[in-house]
Chains A and B, each alone.
Chain A
Amino acid sequence: YQTFDGDLKWNNKDVTYRILNYSPDMESSLIDDAFARAFKVWSEVTPLTFTRLYDGTADIMISFGKANHGDPYPFDGKDGLLAHAYPPGEGMQGDAHFDDDEFWTLGTGPAVKTRYGNSDGAMCHFPYTFDGKTYTTCTTEGRTDDLPWCSTTADYDNDKKFGFCPSELLYTIGGNSNGAECVFPFVFLGETYNGCTTEGRSDGYRWCATTNNFDQDKQFGFCPSRDTAVIGGNSEGEPCHFPFTFLENTYTSCTSEGRSDGKLWCGTTASYDKDQKWGFCADRGYSLFLVAAHEFGHALGLDHSNIQDALMYPMYKYVETFSLHEDDVEGIQYLYGPNPDTKPPKPTTTPSPPGPTPETEPTEEPTRKPTIPTTPHPVDPSADACQMEMFDAITEIQGKLHFFKDGQYWKMTGKDHKGLKGPYPMADMWPALPAVIDTTFEDHLTKKIYFFSGTRFWVYTGQNVLGPRTIEKLGLPSTLSRVEGAVQRGKGKVLLFSGENYWRLDVKAQIIDKGYPRYTDLVFGGVPTDAHDVFLYKGHTYFCRGRFYWRMNSRRQVDRVGYVKYDVMKCP
C-alpha cells in the first residue's frame, strides 16, 4: 500500500460526506446504498465513522460529472477513467468525482429498481416471462400508457409481481420539481419538445420541463435513464433503433463495426448514414460500490497499491463477493489504527500443519556462541568518530544513535560529539557478526536487532543470535549483493534499500511484502539513488552518500542536506 506524501489523513474520527447529485443510471436509493456500503468497507476496519450530511460542506463531497466537470482533471467519455478522488484536506481535498459517461450499475448489467406496482420497490428480475414471451429488459408491452414495467420474479404469468421501471413519464431527478414527471410537449426558448433534451446545458445531462411551458414556469427535472437507453454517443437516453443502416448495411443488433476499440454501439434512428445518431449499447456497467470504495480509500488517505487483488490497485475489476485485501487493511490501519470494536476475522485459509512458523523457523539453532567467528579487528581506543570519513552503518538502538565502522562502533549519548562514547569492539556485543556490516536496524516491537552483511543477515535478541541466514530467505532476489539501508515504517514493517530499489519487510512474517521492489526515487524524490546507507532518526529518514546526508521529513520532502560529521554528530 501507499499513502500520500506526508501521510495525509483526517484528524477527526467522524468523517462527514454529502451526495451532491445522482447519476441517471440508477435509482437514487441504490446510489445512496452503494455509497453507504462503500464507506462501511473502511469503517469496519478502522475507528472511523461516516455521517451523511444533506446540506452544507462535508469532508467528502461526492458528485457525478462528465468530461470537464469543474476541476483540472476532465473525464474522458465512456470507459477509460472512471472516477477520481482527492486526499484528505480542506476545500476540494477529500472529494470524490464519478464519470457519468460511464454506465453505473452494481457490476452485472442494468440495476433496475421498480416503483409502484405490487412489489414494494423490488428489483426487476431479468429475464422474465410475460404472456409466454421472455424479456431481458423493461417493456411497455401490455400497457396503453407507454410506461415501462418489469416483472420482479422470473415468471409474471404465474406470480403477477411487477413494478414500474425508471422513466421520465414516471419521475424526474433533481431540478426544482420535487421529482414530478415530465410533461410533453413542453416549450423551452420558444421551441416545443416532445422528449427529454440536452439543449440549454453544457454538461450533457438530459432534462425536461415538468409543466407544459418552461419559459413561463421554470419548473424542470433531470430524466432518469431507461434500461434500454444507449450510453454516451450523441443520443444519450434514446433506445437503439433496430434495424438500422450503417454504411449501407443493415443491423438488427448492436455492432462494433466502424470502431477500432471493439465497443458495441447502435443507431438510434433507422439510418445512421442519414442521421448520424448513435450511442453505446448497455453492458454490464461498472459497480458503483466497488469504484466508490476505491475512491473513498483515496479520500481517506490511501494512494494506489500495486497489489493486483487490492482494492487500491488502480484498475477496475469486478468481483462478486467483495472483501477488503489485507494490503488495504494494513494501509488504512497504518493511518487510523484498527477498529477496536471489530474482532479479528477467523482465518479463511486452511490451517498450516503443526510445525515451525516463519518466526520460529531458524535454519540455525539459537546460540550464545558465534556461528561465524568475527574477523579479529583491533580497536584503537583513541579512534575518534569525528575523524571518520564515513561509516558502514548508522542506526538508532535503544534511543541512541550508533555508528558502525570496521568492527567497532560508537554510540551518541548526548546532543553533540562530547556525548560520543566508544569505540567499542562489535565482537564484544555481537560476537557472531563479521567486521563489516552494511546496515542494521532495531525492530521497534520486539527490540530485536537485525544486521545485514553482504547476502547474509543476523538477528540478535539480547545476547541470543539467529543466523546467519541468506537474505533470499526474506524473499529478496538472489541477485542482490547487499542491503544498504533499513528504515522502520509503522509497526512490524521495515523498508530495506539496495541500489535504486527498496522492499518492504514484514518483520513478523519474516518475508518481503507483495508488490516489491519499488523504485526508491518514485517515492523518495530528491535523494541520491546511490546512497550507501539509509536510516531513521527522530522521525526523519537519512540517505547517506560519502560524508553527506539528505534528510527527508515525514511529508517526504528533503528538508536538509548536510555533513554527517558536523550536523548529525556535531563534531567541532
Chain B
Amino acid sequence: DKYQLKIDQFFKKM
C-alpha cells in the first residue's frame, strides 16, 4: 500500500 506510511519513519532506532 503506497499510501501507508511506516512507523519506523517516525521513531529513531535506539
Answer whether A and B are interacting partners.
Answer: no
A binding-site residues for B, Cβ under 8 Å: none
B binding-site residues for A, Cβ under 8 Å: none
